[in-house]
Amino acid sequence: MAAAIQNVTVDITQLAREPYMRMQTLRDLTVIGRVLTEQATAIGVPHDWINLAYQAGYEGRKADDARRLPDPRPVTRAMLIAQLHHQADTLSTLAAVGPVRRGRGPVTAPAAEKLSEHLRLQWLRVAMVATAINVTEDETRGWWPTDPTRWHSRIAEIEQQSAPDQGRQWRELTHRGSVREARVRVAAMRMVGIDLTDSAPHQLPPAPHLLEAAAEIAWCTEPLEFEGGAHIGAAITATGIDDTHAIADGDTHDLPPPPLSVQPHVEPDF
């Protein structure tokens, strides 16, 4: 990964010196360099290696197999786990934003396709990083939401945003630039040999279609839960009956999401 950063930096440096540089190519290479750096950091490549790669690239030196990197400085694992948890959270948002958007009006086919691809690529990103840093079952406990209540909370967060904020979030998640960057991230990890062949089950989130199904079920059942609960509570209050059996707290059950087990296997093609 450090070698890739170094070689891209060489290309950027050389292109920037050309009198008639190709601006689009320069922008693309700059994005690739940034994404490579972010992804290298996410899988624990030491910062001193990344800095050395940048320095060598600025000097115009391509990476080769003969070079030796210094002993790495320690990488803070808690930071890697926190970053991965944030990406797992983004994965859930990608699954939940679709039902909310469709509930407010028609969604164009291109936007739906972009969202679906972004969800699939984010799934790969999370699974591949989890595999690369070998997260434990304790570290991922509670990350993959299976309880409909948690999906209700996620959907409520999206619904409670202002209309402009919802629009900005939708455009960000379905923008072709965001999807293109997601492709580069996955390609970078594949390039350095990260795959899901030997991933442990707890390192793989539920498959994208299962996340989408769970979010859709929560979207469909949420109004029934909240409206029904409010109506029951109001009715009990009106009767003056003491709620000794905690009926008002809700004893209703939403339909559960589909099974969310995922077995380790060769990287799936969603």
pLDDT at 144: 87
pTM for the full predicted model: 0.77
Among candidates 76, 63, 71, 81, which has minimal Cα distance to 10? 63
User: How far does Cα 124 stand from its chain's mean position?
Assistant: 9
Range from 66-75, 123-132, 251-260 that averages highest in pLDDT: 123-132
**In which band, very low, low, confident or very high, does the pLDDT at 267 lie, cut at 50, 70 and 90?**
very low
Burial of 267 (0-12, 13-18, 19+ CB in 10 A): middle
pLDDT at 129: 97
Q: How many helices (H) and strands (E) does the chain have?
A: 10, 0
Calculate mean pLDDT across residues 46-74. 87
pLDDT at 180: 93
**In which band, very low, low, confident or very high, does the pLDDT at 22 lie, cut at 50, 70 and 90?**
confident
Tokens of 167: 């629009």
Report DSSP letters for 175-244, one per residue: -HHHHHHHHHHHHHHHHTT--STT--GGGSPPPHHHHHHHHHHHHHHHHHHHHHHHHHHHHHHHHT---T
**In which band, very low, low, confident or very high, does the pLDDT at 239 lie, cut at 50, 70 and 90?**
very low
Q: What is the pLDDT of residues 103-159, one digit of tens each?
A: 888 899 999 999 999 999 999 999 999 999 999 999 999 898 777 788 998 999 999
CB-based contact 8:32 (threshold 8 Å): yes
For residue 25, what are the contacts with CB-CB under 8 A and spacing of at least 6? 15
**Angle CA 48–181–20, to nearest 5:** 85
Domain ranges of the chain: 1-75, 77-241+256-270
